[in-house]
Structure formats: structure tokens, C-alpha cells
Amino acid sequence: MTERDREILALFEAGNQRGLARAISRAESGAGAALMHALFGRTGRALTIGLTGPPGVGKSTLSSALVKTARAAGKSVGVVSVDPSSPFSHGAILGDRIRLTEHFVDPEVFIRSMASRGHLGGLAGATGDAVAFMDAFGKDVILIETVGVGQSEIEIAELADTTIVAMQPGSGDSVQLLKAGVLEVADVFVVNKADHPMALVLRREIRSMMEMLDFSGWVPPLVSTQADEGVGIGELWDAILAHDAYLRESGDLAGKRRAAFAHRVRALVMGELQRRVESRIEAALDENVRRGDDPYETAAKLLAPLREALPPADDDSPSAQIAPGRATVKGL
Ligand SMILES: Nc1nc2c(ncn2[C@@H]2O[C@H](COP(=O)(O)OP(=O)(O)OP(=O)(O)O)[C@@H](O)[C@H]2O)c(=O)[nH]1
Ligand SMILES: [Mg+2]
């Protein structure tokens, strides 16, 4: 542990949010391992909530409303707002700052915007670390907001205990979600902008899509909200608490946390492997091409040291595990 880490740890342990902020910055720059080692034992207390959905659906407005509700219930809160599309977080920050301003003066609320691309382990790396540090710091509730583009909503579901998928009427969201496989990871569905004339149509679409899924155990509730007016937020909060209670009573929480841990470890291992292998491929390529090597022998040469160090396991089947309690598409 460096002098800088010790300084951060001292602030952190004194309950100073600057310590938390700086710990997250360390993780973002790929230097958070020592602090994680010191603090990981304190994690596991917080209720972590992933909030995802298309751009502009109202995620930040929902976050802000949920922060208010959690604070009214006496909970301290951390918010991580992730921009998965950019290595810079500037874009995401502005809108979130505006939407979350009323909470900035509350010392029990900690808000952090971050980019995930370009960081060690992607979303699972930097964001996973931020969530863990907030948890260790003692935040009761942690909200992770991420805009749904490509795989990010699936990734957020790997990290969070409870995943909220938000949609808005009149945008074709439901079709997009079905395509992206996002339906299967939702623990709670939200139709935000319930003031929109097409809101009931969207509700009906979601209902009929849900009929195509087999739910083992938990059936995701469908909540309508009008986040900017605070309408339906109480119901959404209740749905989150109900899912949390379900996870604890069914014993699924342990499995889910194990899967989240596995996901983070996998991201770190695969990330490092990829970077190392990538640089070797680049370095070797010119020589192989000049010699007229075929792709297989080029790959075999590059893999030789790895094959020696990591002989195939007895069971070489993919180790990816599906978190418990997730829906599957009927007939598959
Ligand atoms: N009509 C209506 N507008 C809403 C509602 N909730 C949020 N909005 C508005 O929708 C716009 C987008 O809200 P945000 O909370 O920034 O949405 P977001 O999903 O966080 O957006 P990105 O972070 O950019 O993806 C803002 O102008 C909000 O005021 C609602 O229930 N009804
Ligand atoms: Mg936002």
C-alpha cells in the first residue's frame, strides 16, 4: 500500500466522503487493488439497485426520486452514474448534475459519475469497484444508473441485487428490449412518463412479452411512474424492497452475489489476458506474415506458453453461470 493509499484509507475510515471519492478515482485509474484489499471485508451490507433504460427515459429523474424516498426512510445513499459508451464521463455528468442537484448538499448522499470504457475490466471493473467502495463506506442503498446501449444493461444486472428496466411510451422500446435480451434480466419493469398518451399501450406490450417468459420464482412487477412529478415512486420503492425480501427469503441473494463476484473476477482476468495477448499478437504478426505462417500455426505459437501454464481443465465447458432467479424464454 502506497503512502497515497494510506492517506485515502485514513480519510475513508474517518467517514470523510473525500476518502470515498479518492478511492473510486484510484480504482478508475487502475490502481485500486490495495484499497480494495483493505476494504473488501466490509462490503455486502448495501442494497444495490441497477437502473437501466434507453437515453432520455428518465433514469436520472427516477434516481433522484428514489434517493429522496430512501432518504425519507433514513437510508444513506450512493449513486453511480455510468456512461458505458465513452471513456470520458463529461456527457453524462451534466444532465445528472441538473437532475440530482437537490441532493448535493445532503452529506448522506454521495453521487459519482463515471465512464466505463477504457477502464480495467470495463463496467464490471470501475463500476464494480465504485459500488464496493460505497458499500464498504456504509451506504445503505446504492443506485447504479446506466444508459442501455448494447450489453451494458446485461452487465449492470450482473452487478446489482435488483435490476430496474425503465421504458418510455411511444418509442418502440419494448421491441428493442426484446431483441437485446434485456427482458430476462429485469427484476422490476418501469413505464416512466406515464403521463404520455401511449403509456397504457406500452404496459400492454410489456405484459404480452412477459407471457413469453418462464419465471422461476420471482415475477417482475410492472410499475408506472411519472418521475418528474414523483408519481408512482412509492410503488417502485416497495417493488425494490419486495424483491430484496424475496432474494433474502429464497436464499437467491447468496447465489446472486457469488455470480456478481465471479463476473468481476472474470472481467479482471479476461481483461488482463486480452491485453497481454493482444500486444503479443501485434508484435509477432509482421514476422509471421513474412514467413508465410498460416493463422493456426501463428496462434499455436502465441498460445504455447499459455498452454503450458494453463493445461485444459477436466471439464472444459464454459464456466459462465446464469444468476439464479432469471427468466428464460419459453421453449428454449
Ligand atoms: N413527461 C415526462 N417527462 C419526464 C418524466 N420523467 C422525466 N422526464 C423528463 O425526461 C427528460 C430526460 O430525463 P432524464 O432523467 O435526464 O433521463 P435519463 O434516462 O437519465 O437520460 P440519459 O442519462 O441522458 O440517458 C427530462 O427532461 C425529464 O424532465 C415523466 O414522468 N414525464
Ligand atoms: Mg441520466
Q: Where are the domains of the chain?
A: 1-42, 44-251
CB 51 within 8 A of CB 82: no
Rounded to the nearest whole angstrom, what is the distance from the C-alpha of residue 90 to the centroid of ligand 2? 12
Rounded to the nearest whole angstrom, what is the distance from the C-alpha of residue 239 to the centroid of ligand 1? 21
CB 108 within 8 A of CB 47: no
Name the more confident of 19 and 285: 19
- pLDDT-derived band of residue 272, with 50, 70 and 90 as boundaries? confident
| Three-state SS letters, the chain | CCHHHHHHHHHHHCCCHHHHHHHHHHHHCCCCHHHHHHHHHHCCCCEEEEEEECCCCCHHHHHHHHHHHHHHCCCCEEEEEEECCCCCCHHHHHHHHHHHHHHCCCCCEEEEEEECCCCCCHHHHHHHHHHHHHHHHCCCEEEEEEECCCCHHHHHHHHCCEEEEEECCCCCHHHHHHHHCCHHHCCEEEECCCCCCCHHHHHHHHHHHHCCEECCCCCCCEEECEHHHCECHHHHHHHHHHHHHHHHHHCHHHHHHHHHHHHHHHHHHHHHHHHHHHHHHHHHHHHHHHHCCCHHHHHHHHHHHHHHHCCCCCCCCCCCCCCCCCCEECCC
Is the beta carbon of 58 within 6 A of some atom in ligand 1? yes
Highest mean pLDDT among 56-60, 108-112, 137-141 belongs to: 137-141
Is the beta carbon of 166 within 6 A of some atom in ligand 1? no
Is the beta carbon of 228 within 6 A of some atom in ligand 1? yes
Rounded to the nearest whole angstrom, what is the distance from the C-alpha of residue 59 to the centroid of ligand 1? 7
Highest mean pLDDT among 51-55, 100-104, 119-123, 151-155 belongs to: 51-55
Give the CATH number of domain 44-251; options: 3.40.50.12280, 3.40.190.10, 3.40.50.300, 3.40.50.620: 3.40.50.300
CB 141 within 8 A of CB 131: no
Is the beta carbon of 234 within 6 A of some atom in ligand 1? no
Residue 90 pLDDT > 50: no
Mutate to test the pocket of ligand 1, among 57, 61, 97, 114 (most ligand atoms within 8 A of CB): 61
Rounded to the nearest whole angstrom, what is the distance from the C-alpha of residue 124 to the centroid of ligand 1? 26
Is the beta carbon of 188 within 6 A of some atom in ligand 1? no
> What's the rounded Cα separation, in Å, for the pair 264 and 319?
14
CB 53 within 8 A of CB 167: yes
- Give the predicted TM-score (pTM) of the model: 0.87
Cα dist from 191 to 20, 137, 195, 203, 222, whole Å: 33, 32, 10, 7, 7
Is the beta carbon of 163 within 6 A of some atom in ligand 1? no
pLDDT digits (tens, 9 = 90+) for 31-68: 999 999 999 999 999 999 999 988 889 999 999 999 99
> What's the rounded Cα separation, in Å, for the pair 76 and 110?
9
> What's the rounded Cα separation, in Å, for the pair 313 and 310?
8
Is the beta carbon of 287 within 6 A of some atom in ligand 1? no
Among protein residues, the one with the nearest Cα to ligand 1's atom 30 is: 193
pLDDT digits (tens, 9 = 90+) for 193-244: 999 999 999 999 999 888 888 888 899 999 999 999 999 999 999 999 999 9
Task: Indicate which ligand has the atom closest to the C-alpha of 230.
Answer: 1
Task: Indicate which ligand has the atom closest to the C-alpha of 53.
Answer: 1
Mutate to test the pocket of ligand 1, among 228, 229, 233, 236 (most ligand atoms within 8 A of CB): 228
CB 183 within 8 A of CB 177: yes
* Cβ count near 302 (within 10 Å): 16
